[in-house]
Amino acid sequence: MERIKLTLKDGNIREVDQGLSLAEFAQSLSRSLAKSALAAKVDGQMVDLNTKLVRDAQVEFVTFENDEGKNVLRHSASHILAQAVKRLYKNVKIAIGPAIANGFYYDFDTEQPFTPEDLTKIQAEMEKIIQANLPIERMELSRDAAIQLFNELGESYKVELIQDLPEDVTISLYKQGEFTDLCAGPHVPSTGRVKAVKIQSLAGAYWRGDEKRKMLQRIYGTAFEKKAELDEYLHMLEEAAKRDHRKLGRELDLFSIHDEGPGFPFFHPNGMIIRNELENFWRKLHVKYGYQEIKTPIILNQKLWQQSGHWDHYRENMYFTNIDDEGYAVKPMNCPGGMLVYRTQHHSYRDLPLRTAELGLVHRHELSGALHGLMRVRSFTQDDAHIFMLPSQIKSEINGIIDLFDTVYRTFGLSYHAELSTKPAKAMGSDEVWETATNALREALEERKMAYKINEGDGAFYGPKIDFHLRDSIGRTWQCGTIQLDMMLPEKFDLTYVGEDGLKHRPVMVHRVVYGSIERFIGILIEHYAGAFPVWLAPVQVKILPITDRHSEYAHQLAAMMREQDIRVIVDDRNEKIGYKIREGQVEKAPYILVVGDKEVETNSVAVRKRGQGDLGAQDVSGFIATVVREIIEKVNS
């Protein structure tokens, strides 16, 4: 039998008999790999483990540890969902069922709406199918044969999908037990590999996203390899629901969004305190790192947006107006204004690097269905910075930016990882410039020994970038910080500096944001802290509760002393029971609650209750104030 050579991801080469399946090859490498592999890549193409190896190839096995493996398992779970529904409800037609972030869905056409009781039955039937461990087998048919098969099955949606495919294409199907579905694959080898599955919710969805087509019923679910992983994920979802920034925003009186301005948040006094603290922190840090703050207009002439390229590539997301019979646009980004500021002066190589930063209010027309509290809005403040530099300064500037990012994220107790996106197929600039820029980003990450992921070909067309993904207190990730090298705007705006040779040169430019959007970052922090902000950010840092009216004067004297130290303090001297006022302060998540009565007045002390720790007992007033001031100055993250 002919032997073939298979190159593994680590570079090792194995010789095997031609015709060996990927599952058999995995078994020959190790039993643990055979147990964990869900699919494989052969010369970069995703395939089933049942695929036979017929030629020399590069082989990489895919497990649940990576995104591709999760998608394979969850896509297989969507087929199990469809099979369960078809078993239980004979007249239902199936539409599409892909894997999505953290789960999967399947769309169904049924005259009778599904109920919560139906979802319970479907969950139980799915578990039976998983327990049966049915083989999942790939079949290939001609276009005509596939159309005939699905016509016989009464699956008109599948017929429509096939008819939209090229006439000469071979159609792939997957069969498990009595159920057959149209699918490109790949899938796990059998239904038993989907160890843990959970139906989550039900929604409506138009067929193919067209509101003129029929409304279908979409069932959402998720799947994991292990029940413990599923339980952990479901617990995280429960915790996330408790932390929903929209709910906490109302309860803590931080912000609101009104029908009169969908997507345009209103910040209340408590929310403005948090916002101002974030901006003050940002400003002080940027002064420390050598930035100069600028401010550019919200509305600028249409010609500027044509010059920048936004007119051609971003116009549908912009708002427009007319001034003096000329077209103007509300800015969706701060960059063009920053270019105009750079151009107001002549620059020498001695001026570089030039670091400018802006808290710029931008507006973008997001679809109403995409709006989500502070996370997805139509007006937001970007903490933009534009750094103009010499090519030789790229690496040191990137290192400086990462230092700044690290300082910010550690202050909030947010861990993070980086992702480096490289040159896409359609890119501006020479290969040489791209290689220099990408290597500078890569070397900066590697010299810091930072773990990072490479997204090949996923850079912007104008330059490579590093994205920073933050992990919050319950394990969710959020993409916030970005460092983008730009080879387009310096060209479009004819930005130059005079080099040592006396000639004009193009500066290298970096765009960078650390918060990303202040509004969104506040939303993330609300959920990260579950509304229990550290002392330096808390709208009310200390709440003083006099036990009776005769203790109110002392309480107000304490409050005045604290305000002298810039502590945000309020006195609750309502005629309510002290237990009620303590509970209310806890619901409001005040970091410190001070109870004052006869003993405290006599000894010039305070009875301290600290959020999360309870009663700390009596403390000297000056000592307590010193503790709070220290926590504010040091930005203690608790």
- Residue-wise pLDDT tens digits, 427-443: 777 778 788 888 888 98
Tell me how far apart the alpha carbons of residues 84 and 197 are, in angstroms, rounded to a whole number: 13
> What pLDDT does 628 receive?
97
Residue 495 is classified by DSSP as -
Percent of the chain with pLDDT over 70: 100
> What pLDDT does 311 receive?
85
Q: Burial level of 597, CB count in 10 A (0-12/13-18/19+)?
A: middle
> What pLDDT does 220 receive?
97
Got the DSSP string for 499-526? -TTSSEEPPEEEEEESSS-HHHHHHHHH
pLDDT at 507 over 90: yes
> What pLDDT does 459 receive?
85
CB 487 within 8 A of CB 433: yes
| 554: Cβ contacts below 8 Å, ≥ 6 apart | 546, 596, 600, 601
Q: What is the mean pLDDT of the chain?
A: 93
Between the CA of residue 111 and those of 90, 159, 196, 214, 215, what are the distances in Å? 12, 20, 30, 11, 10
Positions annotated as catalytic residues are 335, 364, 382, 384, 386, 465, 511
Tell me how far apart the alpha carbons of residues 95 and 209 are, in angstroms, rounded to a whole number: 12
User: How does pLDDT run across 579-625, given as a tens digit for each residue?
Assistant: 999 999 999 999 999 999 999 999 999 999 999 999 999 999 999 99
Give the SS3 label for residue 51.
coil
Q: Span 181-188, mean pLDDT?
A: 94
| 620: Cβ contacts below 8 Å, ≥ 6 apart | 604, 605
Work out the pLDDT band at 262, boundaries 50, 70, 90.
very high
Terminal CA-CA length for the chain:
67
pLDDT at 424 over 90: no
Give the SS3 label for residue 577.
coil
Q: H helices of 289-430, where? A: 302-308, 310-313, 335-343, 394-411
Query: Given 3-state DSSP classes, what are the helix, strand and coil percentages for the chain, each rounded to the nearest 5?
Result: 40, 30, 30
What domains are there in the chain, each with its CATH number?
3-59 (3.10.20.30), 67-237 (3.30.980.10), 255-296+331-528 (3.30.930.10), 542-634 (3.40.50.800)
47 phi, psi to nearest 5 deg: -140, 165
Which of 230, 242, 293 is closest to 102 using CA atoms?
230
Q: Span 124-139, mean pLDDT?
A: 96
Q: Burial level of 217, CB count in 10 A (0-12/13-18/19+)?
A: buried
Tell me how far apart the alpha carbons of residues 93 and 107 are, in angstroms, rounded to a whole number: 9
Tell me how far apart the alpha carbons of residues 57 and 29 are, in angstroms, rounded to a whole number: 16
User: How does pLDDT run across 149-175, given as a tens digit for each residue?
Assistant: 999 999 999 999 999 988 888 899 999
Q: H helices of 450-551, where? A: 489-492, 518-528
Tell me how far apart the alpha carbons of residues 62 and 99 are, in angstroms, rounded to a whole number: 16
CA atoms within 13 A on the CB side of 353: 25
Q: Span 61-70, mean pLDDT?
A: 93
pLDDT at 117 over 80: yes
> What pLDDT does 49 receive?
94
Work out the pLDDT band at 1, boundaries 50, 70, 90.
low
The dihedral of CA 493, 498, 499, 503: what is its sign?
positive
Amino acid, single-letter form, for residue 393: Q
Work out the pLDDT band at 22, boundaries 50, 70, 90.
very high
Amino acid, single-letter form, for residue 39: A
Tell me how far apart the alpha carbons of residues 354 and 550 are, in angstroms, rounded to a whole number: 60
